[in-house]
Amino acid sequence: MHQTHMIIDGEQLPISSHKVETICNPANQEPVALVSVGTRQDARMALEAAKKAFPLWSETACEKRAELLHSAADLVRERAKSIARLLTQEQGKPLKNARAEILSSAGILDYYAEEGRRNVGEWLATSRGRSVVLRQPVGVAALITPWNYPVDLLSWKVGPCLAAGCTFVAKPPSRAPVAATEFVRAIYDAGLPAGVVNVVHGPGSEVGAELVENPISRKIAFTGETETGRWIMAQAALHIKRVSLELGGQSPFIVCGDADIEKAAAACAQRAFSNMGQICISVNRVYVADEVAEEFTDRLVHQTERLRIGNGLKENVDLGPMFSNEQREKTKEHMKDALDRGAELLCGGREPEGEAFEKGYFFLPTVLDRADHKMKIMREETFGPVAPIMRFETVDEAIKLANDSNYGLAAYIYTSDIATGIQAAERLEAGGVGVNINNVMDYQMPFGGWKESGIGRELGHYGLESFLEIKHIRLGI
């Protein structure tokens, strides 16, 4: 069984010196890894190590940091097969998707290696002297990440953090820390100085709390639940720390009467059910124009019933298990509430049958029709494989319904009229809008939410800037 050690100041802390937990495969409950569980003291030690390493790393030339980040990306690719297998075993997603996640994370390191080279200042000549504007690393960063994309979402933070010249302590998700730790280990093995990268496992109530509350950390980058984000903001305020928070979502998917229905249905199924709906930008609410509702619903059901579910390690699997029984039970509870309030079950809605599914947290992808905003599933983040459909008469009505939410992370609209698409995108209250595309993420573009979906932006040069302070130097000549 794999052993996952914490990394503090360049050292692997022996598992024998800590409490140990067993990570199990959500597909069959078979043990995957033994993981050392840290404490507040371990988090404090890691922060102190990062603080000690900060002066050297922050003064390292951007060319050298870029070289090391490229080497780290290469090493992640070399180890992608083994890390991806661990990711599938601890999280459940199909192996092809796990490998894509690891390779994407390597690409993020390469991107920020080059973006860091472009961290240039400004020089302005004035009649009374000169002004210089510098962008300098903010300091030690605390990086706290969730279980649904434990490597990818960590890379979004690690890449700009290191390119900016910051050091960090990462806290991977307590129940899926293995692949994320191996990702950081590959980065360290590429030749970074001791203390620049650190990993501490453990519960948010201890390890996460120490990383947030300790004055050593000057930047907190967090992806997770909105309620936790509120607590982080409150604690960060005590020391005026910089925060980037990517929080909950409840993404609407609008299908206009003039949309390409076949493409819209395929896109909706992919974005609603990929990773078993356990994605912050997953489709949570589907709004369909009355005149095409029957056709769209039929095609969405057809697309959904074609999806193959099973152990993520097996070939030709589209969907693995859900991550936990808690997630599955929440999905079932939201679905039952919708059915009790008048929704119609079109497909799925239960666990698959057969011996292969008995020990795992499997659930069939589900389509509901006749949904409305009285239902929890249309107002709360389900984080499960359910696509509820509600019908509308006008695009104005659809936009009003889409904006009727506390969340604002992503939104999607399908239409053949580009003017309708652009105008809707401008009016939708979300940090990212996909027009005739079901993905709002791009390495070079900002990602983040409006309203209770978060604050700050990741990816692109925006992600790098969040790890930098601005300094004005005025020279009298």
Residue 405: CB partners within 8 Å, gap ≥ 6?
A: 250, 252, 379, 429, 451
Burial (Cβ within 10 Å: 0-12, 13-18, ≥19) of residue 57: buried
User: How far apart (Å, rounded) are the C-alpha atoms in residues 166 and 151?
Assistant: 19
For the record, the structure tokens of 148 come out as 């649904």
User: How far apart (Å, rounded) are the C-alpha atoms in residues 253 and 387?
Assistant: 10
Beta strand 129-137 with 468-476 is antiparallel
Strand spans (E) along 371-476: 386-392, 407-408, 410-414, 432-435, 450-451, 454-455, 468-476
Beta strand 407-408 with 450-451 is antiparallel
SS3 state at 39: coil
User: How far apart (Å, rounded) are the C-alpha atoms in residues 390 and 396?
Assistant: 14
Strand spans (E) along 49-191: 122-126, 129-137, 140-144, 167-171
- Is residue 294 part of the annotated active site? The answer reads no
Closest CA to 137 of 168, 171, 172: 168
Answer yes or no: are the C-beta atoms of 368 and 389 closer than 8 Å.
yes
For the record, the structure tokens of 93 come out as 């997603």
Of 90, 115, 182, 246, which residue is the catalytic one? 246
User: How far apart (Å, rounded) are the C-alpha atoms in residues 236 and 220?
Assistant: 8
H/E element holding 228?
helix 226-237
Of 280, 381, 452, 465, which residue is the catalytic one? 280
Answer yes or no: are the C-beta atoms of 289 and 324 closer than 8 Å.
no
Q: Helical H runs in 214-285? A: 226-237, 261-273
For the record, the structure tokens of 384 come out as 């499960």
Closest CA to 115 of 49, 163, 166, 65: 163
- Is residue 351 part of the annotated active site? The answer reads no
Cα 268-273-276 angle, rounded to 5 deg: 165
* Other CB atoms within 10 Å distance of the CB of residue 263: 14
Q: How many residues does the chain have?
A: 477
User: Catalytic amino acids?
Assistant: 246, 280
